[in-house]
Amino acid sequence: MDRLNVALIGAGAIHTCHVEGLRHTPGVHLTALVESDREKGAALARRYDCRYYVDYREMLRDKDIDAVHICTPHYLHREMIIASLTAGKHVFSEKPVGLNLLEVSLIRQAAAEAKGRLGVCFQNRHNPTSQAIRQQLREGSIGDMRGMKASLTWSRGGAYYTDSGWRGRFATEGGSLLINQAIHTLDLMQWFAGGVSRVKGVVDSTLLSDIIETEDSAMAMLRFTNGAHGVFHATTCYSTDSPLQLEIHGERGLLRLEESRLWRITENERTLLACDAPPEGDAKCYWGDGHQQAISQFYAAVREEGKDDYATLDDAARAQAVVDALYRSSQMRQWVDILP
């Protein structure tokens, strides 16, 4: 296959991770940038030596473009994904693919008729520690899973929301902590356990309740399909961005992720299994170093049938189902079942 020409829509905070990811992926080329802020978009297009569009629909008419990366605010994802797939492009979208499961099902209809692939950016799956956890669970090194706990304590101040036209509002972000930050943690939990069957949780705004209409804190119990249960706590009201703490309790020991290091702890041993390196360039530590991996695996799948080591719409739907169920559970103060 010849070189793949890529267009990136939305040149905000995360876009540099995509630019770097593309730069490190052989056979792909950043050919166009779409950005509604004309001054920023034109300047960046000059820096990247690529075409510039202000309107993504005009870019989609460009037959040279093979694939589109979507890095815009959440409320634009569904329409941009569907339009790009309908125009015959491959799509690599930032999470979440939509504001809720209803939007995911609309995307599913378009994806079923499209010939392009749709990949979703759950880059933390590619962390060495995540890969090692999956391998340990596959090998059964700690026996059957009994439980899992995760604690995500990050810091997002008022300015993060007030300086942005879309964050902190249901109509444009779809929620905050759960759908934006903790969706990665919930995705890892459901991926490690092989699915979530029901949840009960409390989701609320605390420190930022005067600033955002969405949530900044959450706690929940999860019941996994393998019968184990999960304890989840997350907030963006801490004073710094701490590395994710996650522990899996098995019948013969623990897998413990702390300080970006994965340990296996049994009665007789404490073994360091893997370590996540800090990301390069402009990327923030808490985003991890996985964008390059996620992007190169996606293009490996685009190029070669059968190479499917990337997060698909089905994966995104599973994470979104947990997020949606937690919002619903908190409103109703009840357990909410998640359909398989």
Ligand X SMILES: NC(=O)c1ccc[n+]([C@@H]2O[C@H](COP(=O)([O-])OP(=O)(O)OC[C@H]3O[C@@H](n4cnc5c(N)ncnc54)[C@H](O)[C@@H]3O)[C@@H](O)[C@H]2O)c1
Which residues contribute to the site for ligand X (CB under 6 A)?
Answer: 9-14, 34-37, 56, 71-74, 76, 94-95, 121, 123, 164, 180, 287
Least Å from the CB of residue 147 to ligand X: 26
- Considering only CA atoms, which of 69, 73, 35, 96 is closest in space to residue 161? 73
Strand locations in the chain, DSSP E? Answer: 4-9, 28-34, 51-53, 67-70, 90-94, 118-121, 145-153, 196-204, 217-224, 229-235, 245-250, 253-258, 261-265, 270-275, 336-337
Residue among 70 and 145 whose Cβ is closer to ligand X: 70
Contact criterion met (CB below 8 Å) for 16 and 44? no
Residue among 76 and 300 whose Cβ is closer to ligand X: 76
Q: Say how far residue 317 (Cα) sits from the centre of its chain.
A: 11
Least Å from the CB of residue 127 to ligand X: 11
Report how far residue 74's alpha carbon sits from residue 78's, in angstroms, rounded to the nearest whole number. 8
Residue among 78 and 264 whose Cβ is closer to ligand X: 78
Least Å from the CB of residue 169 to ligand X: 13
Task: Say if strands 145-153 and 118-121 run parallel, antiparallel, or are unpaired.
Answer: unpaired
Give the number of other Cβ atoms within 10 Å of residue 139's Cβ.
8
DSSP 129-176: HHHHHHHHHHHTTT-SEEEEEEEEE-B--HHHHHTSSSTT-HHHHSSS
Residue among 263 and 310 whose Cβ is closer to ligand X: 310
Residue among 2 and 163 whose Cβ is closer to ligand X: 163
Residue among 21 and 201 whose Cβ is closer to ligand X: 21
Residue among 13 and 43 whose Cβ is closer to ligand X: 13
Least Å from the CB of residue 184 to ligand X: 6
Least Å from the CB of residue 273 to ligand X: 23
* Angle (deg, nearest 10), helices 101-113 and 313-332: 160
Return the structure tokens found at 219: 């706690």
Return the structure tokens found at 163: 């300086």
Least Å from the CB of residue 223 to ligand X: 27
Return the structure tokens found at 249: 């309790």
Least Å from the CB of residue 156 to ligand X: 11
Residue among 56 and 263 whose Cβ is closer to ligand X: 56
CB-nearest residue to ligand X: 12
Token pair 């979507």: residue: 70
Report how far residue 263's alpha carbon sits from residue 141's, in angstroms, rounded to the nearest whole number. 12
Q: How far is CA 286 from CA 152, 176, 180, 184, 242, in A?
A: 10, 16, 13, 11, 8
Least Å from the CB of residue 234 to ligand X: 14
Residue among 44 and 142 whose Cβ is closer to ligand X: 44
- Beta-bridge partners for 271: 264
Least Å from the CB of residue 164 to ligand X: 5
Report how far residue 256's alpha carbon sits from residue 237's, in angstroms, rounded to the nearest whole number. 24
